[in-house]
């Protein structure tokens, strides 16, 4: 793959920031985040270790702002060869407590925002001869873990990624997704600050710990790079085994060893 830039949305914090730092070795990084100061801070860390890039304060649901940022970055840093769609947010409310405005905002950021980035990045990536796209989904899209607006949006990311794999392959573009489990980021800071919730969460993760942004960044780097050249339309679950088993609560040990005791 010829040289080009790396576009990262949500790059000011959490998973997006960890990925921006990890992907700096793939080319100059275009850090996009609604919080311009956070995006600039990530860029400063990239430059501190010898990387290059630029940053923009962009709401991924703003079609015109995304078009302007992607165009300006391509003109100065080269065409995008890697795109990480990562910007996200959530509203922790059940169906009947969620307002229409809240639903629309969650779906707009987590799904429509991805679509908008794809519309502006894919033509440039195609003209440059191809590239790799990675989209952050969630285990919520697999098992309904969470709340309906977020679960629906992340399920949409999974389906969109699968559908686009065949559509983009003739252009030399691969597209895959990653479904993180519970990762220690700002979106989870409020719930994980509660001892009971944090302990119960860790208790339901077979490897015995929460995920870190760097855990996700390592898998993103694999999917973005040449080692995954035959992988497209796939989703990699990175959750410490959280959705690999049914959680039986207080009877889990008895259930798992039922025959051993008889």
How many other CB atoms are found less than 10 A from the CB of residue 228? Answer: 18
- Consecutive 10-residue runs of the chain (262 residues): their mean pLDDT? 87 97 97 98 97 98 98 97 96 94 98 98 98 97 88 97 98 98 82 82 90 97 98 97 78 63 61
Inter-residue contact 199 to 259 (CB < 8 Å): no
Cα 36–Cα 38–Cα 39 angle in degrees, nearest 5: 65
Inter-residue contact 86 to 133 (CB < 8 Å): no
Number of H helices and number of E strands within the chain? Answer: 11, 7
Number of domains present in the structure of the chain: 1
Chain segment 33-78, per-residue pLDDT in tens: 999 999 999 999 999 999 999 999 999 999 999 999 999 999 999 9
Burial label for 60, CB within 10 Å (0-12, 13-18, 19+), is buried
Q: Is residue 262 part of a domain?
A: no
Strands 173-180 and 53-57: unpaired
Q: Is residue 257 part of a domain?
A: no
CA distance 3 to 29: 12
Which CATH number do you get for residue 216? 3.40.50.720
Q: Is residue 261 part of a domain?
A: no
Q: Is residue 248 part of a domain?
A: no
Inter-residue contact 123 to 74 (CB < 8 Å): no
Inter-residue contact 233 to 165 (CB < 8 Å): yes
CA distance 10 to 53: 15
Tell me what pLDDT residue 186 has: 72
114 is catalytic: no
Instruction: Please give the structure tokens belonging to residue 23.
Output: 């992907």
The pTM of the full predicted model, rounded to 2 decimals, is: 0.93
Q: Is residue 252 part of a domain?
A: no
Q: Is residue 137 part of a domain?
A: yes
* Host domain of residue 150: 5-242
């Amino acid at each position: 793959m010829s040289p080009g830039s790396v576009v990262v949305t949500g790059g000011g914090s959490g998973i997006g920031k960890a990925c921006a730092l990890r992907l700096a070795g793939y080319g100059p990084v275009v850090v996009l985040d609604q919080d311009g100061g956070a995006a600039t801070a990530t860029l400063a860390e990239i430059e501190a270790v010898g990387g290059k890039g630029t940053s923009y304060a962009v709401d991924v649901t703003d079609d015109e702002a995304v078009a302007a940022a992607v165009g300006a970055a391509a003109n100065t840093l080269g065409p995008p060869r890697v795109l990480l769609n990562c910007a996200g947010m959530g509203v922790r409310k059940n169906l009947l407590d969620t307002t229409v405005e809240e639903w629309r905002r969650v779906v707009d950021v987590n799904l429509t925002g991805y679509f908008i980035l794809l519309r502006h990045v894919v033509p440039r990536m195609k003209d440059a001869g191809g590239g790799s796209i990675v989209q952050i989904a969630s285990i919520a899209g697999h098992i309904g873990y969470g709340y309906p607006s977020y679960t629906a949006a992340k399920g949409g990311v999974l389906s969109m990624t699968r559908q686009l794999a065949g559509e983009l392959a003739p252009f030399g573009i691969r597209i895959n997704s990653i479904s993180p489990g519970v990762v220690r980021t700002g979106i989870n800071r409020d719930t994980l600050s509660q001892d009971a919730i944090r302990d119960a969460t860790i208790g339901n993760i077979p490897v015995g710990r929460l995920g870190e942004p760097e855990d996700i960044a390592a898998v993103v780097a694999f999917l973005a790079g040449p080692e995954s050249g035959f992988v497209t339309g796939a989703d990699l679950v990175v959750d410490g085994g959280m959705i690999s088993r049914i959680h039986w609560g207080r009877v889990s040990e008895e259930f798992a060893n039922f025959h051993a005791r008889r």
